[in-house]
Structure 1
């Protein structure tokens, strides 16, 4: 087929029509390439760059669209591996779409919105005279502070101005500088306070709204606050909403703030709600043994970094002072909501710096905070629900101390979609602490008071 016989019987020769068609196709392709090259040479550099960026955005799944300055910041901050939530979110955000993202704790949600934030303002050539361009709302002061620190590291090669607005700081000092900020990281209550009280503060030029840990924002009772904030923002904006869990309240907030969003749920088909590498264990002991078990555990892990979660601030205060007196041989820190803001930041930074330490904390440290190189997460009290457990556990080894009363008397049930393994209590290594709750002396009367209130609060919950 496609060959013709030579009349002289010397064999077959190629079909000239078919050969011509092949040549014509190649020739047309070369001519079109030359034509495009001539047009390209006539275009100004800014137009060529814009077309390249546009082409990259359209093929975001195959190529990287991040600018070199952002890549340099990521590399200097030791962020080298791209997570699944970042792969699926960054490209959609760069196309200007609203995004509703859900991913497990420790999946890299912070960079999933910080990279598009920097990229979007860079493309708009945003300056300090343009005012507020991006608003990032976090549920707690600690998470807002952590997000701000990551932003400083990743965006160090840009000229954008960034600010941190949280409770516990001088309101007047913040008001003097808030109008010159391009990227504002804040908590809901403080932001609404500035909207109500700070003269000339507005968000009319806002380009992007980011809601980080949206479910936690609503769990803390900020639903009305968020509704008031959104009413003060321009309707023409891009919104990125991130959450570790998808609750009814989150969906209600999404309907209020998002327009035709793209849904990104990277672990939708996962068997468990916790990370696959998370090792989860529990110990059942008598109620009066819980402090002894915790003390014995800390004594046998003196070179490890651990976080111990409690149910109330009073319980953290009481047991922190008790363990400081017991001296288990490792540095102990306390983080709870009754502390002043500066003290909370000092504790956070100190725990991050230390190679071996124990942090006694309430759920204020459970959501979003990134403590590097943590070996153990211990839950001294039962979490109130599955979502609280998921955020407490994070991405490291988790251990829960259950009392027999807590299992039988209070109707404890296994948490759904979480693979637990029982851990045996080694009686031979258990340090029995007697009279821990009967501290004497005037200086410890307050401690005993805290203990009584803490236990009462625990039983009530």
Structure 2
């Protein structure tokens, strides 16, 4: 099947061709016709499946022949959990709409709001936003959401994990009752189903990958190592195998900073990206990583959400995530669009329980390796891991814990709350102490 068979107009087909795409992905083949028909949609797809184009292309077509928005009005609203994801969606919208007379803008916190206010003032066809900055500008009457025709919630599962449910509900109350709703999520958890039940009207349901499966073309391996020697082993593997463009995950912002500094001292160019970094620093690190001048990018789960790096070859879990589903999100950054990828996890005795939870979730036993010279101490005893979670006997954070209604992501939520700057900025703004970290 080609894009022309999906019913897209010539201007969009031209833009798709200019981007070098010829064949739609499974999510695009299924989602585009549904969105074009005007119905609600609940879609689940792993990262790297082309879901952004799956809603962007038909959204643009539905808006193309409609009335121009009036001052401060918005015709289509796309909500994203992080600045990076919002920016990436904005790039896609700009690329695909280049031959259409449509206007779009991305807004998020961490930067001055006046340029965003100026861009919204004439009215926009498409607004891509993070929840906190959007509500800030709405409360100041800089944006009018009463004429929104299409609402997209992208990576809704991450928005719930980050505690944005209250902000989402506030946004929904500002929208017209009659509109098209598109909800995209990496997984169909009970919480997502509950949100969909309240938000969507007789939605079409698309699930292009089995729940919580990992991409088969990703080579996944576990290196057993003592906790104190993880940094040494990581540097050794990078240098021995000549790895470039390595995305490394840590649990905490402090851990990301420390690891990036240690790698840089060993002549391995590395930078950290997380919620406490300024927007300019995050943009600079991402740019260097994408163009290959930065060898290693160390990230927390929240900051890495929305990264779109073509043919990223290596992902390393320096520390296993507390929530098993986040393992799927992490390694999904590699092995995209048909490319092969390698996902390596450095696992110490503290994390054996977390590893068991991950293997149960993905339904496979991961290959265990021991690097000569870095053999773990067989007598080592597990210690509590950061965020107060124990690796040994760990059971919470699996899909079973989530689906039973427990708050299985409390450890990850503490990190998410540390990065959840949107709501914090809004609260500070009410007291007259506006922050630049929104």
Same fold (TM over 0.5): yes
1:318 aligns with 258
User: For each residue in 1:169-195, what CA deviation from the matched residue of structure 2 results, as whole angstroms up to 9, or x when unmatched?
Assistant: 212332233132211000011111112
Q: Is the 8 A contact 1:311 1:458 kept in 2?
A: no
Of the three residues 217, 223, 239, the one matched with 1:299 is 239
Could you tell me how far 1:365 is from its partner in structure 2?
Answer: 4.0
* 1:274-321 deviation digits (Å, cap 9, x = unpaired): 122222111111222211111101112335321110000000111111
Is the partner of 2:134 in helix, strand or coil?
A: helix
Question: Does 2:138 align with 1:198?
Answer: no
Secondary structure of the 1:300 match is helix
Q: CA deviation at 1:389?
A: 0.6
Contact 1:386/1:415 (<8 A) preserved: no
The verdict on how the C-alpha distance between 1:292 and 1:366 changes in structure 2, with shifts beyond 3 A counting, is same
Residues 1:278 and 2:221 are matched in the alignment: no
Question: Matched residues in 1 for 2:349 and 2:180: separation?
Answer: 51
Structure with the larger RCO, 1 or 2 (CA within 8 Å, 6+ apart): 2
Confirm or deny: 8 A CA contact 1:295 1:431 kept in the other structure: no
- Measured in 2, the distance between the counterparts of 1:117 and 1:402 equals 43
| Superposed counterparts of 1:111-126, under 5 Å | 111-124=53-66, 126=68
Structure 2 unaligned regions, length at least 5 = 336-340, 377-384, 391-410, 412-438
State whether residues 84 and 305 of structure 2, in contact with CA within 8 Å, keep that contact through their aligned partners in structure 1: no
Pairing 1:281-360 to 2, within 5 Å after superposition: 281-328=221-268, 331-354=269-292, 357-360=295-298
In 2, Cα distance between the equivalents of 1:185 and 1:411?
36
Q: How many residues align?
A: 374
Scaled by the length of structure 1, what TM-score is found?
A: 0.76
Superposed CA RMSD: 2.6
Instruction: State the Cα distance separating 1:158 from its structure 2 match.
Output: 1.3
Question: CA contact under 8 A between 1:239 and 1:257: conserved in structure 2?
Answer: yes
Q: How does 1:213-252 map to 2 (within 5 A)?
A: 213-252=155-194
Partner Cα separation in structure 1 for residue 46 and residue 363 of structure 2: 13
Sort the Cα spacing of 1:130 and 1:144 in 2 relative to 1 into closer, same or farther, 3 A: closer
CA shift, 1:82, in A, is 0.7
Deviations 1:368-420 (A, max 9, x none): 32111211111011111221111001133211111023327x78543422434
Shift in Å at residue 458 of structure 1?
7.6
> Radius of gyration: which is bigger?
1
Q: In structure 1, the residue corresponding to 2:74 is in which secondary structure? A: coil
- Is the partner of 1:397 in helix, strand or coil? strand
Residue from 50, 68, 71 that aligns with 1:108: 50
Task: State how far apart, in whole Å, the 2-side matches of 1:377 and 1:391 are.
Answer: 11
Counterpart position of 2:80: 138
Judging changes above 3 Å, is the alpha-carbon distance between structure 1 residues 225 and 129 closer, same or farther for their aligned structure 2 residues?
closer
- TM-score in terms of structure 2 length: 0.79
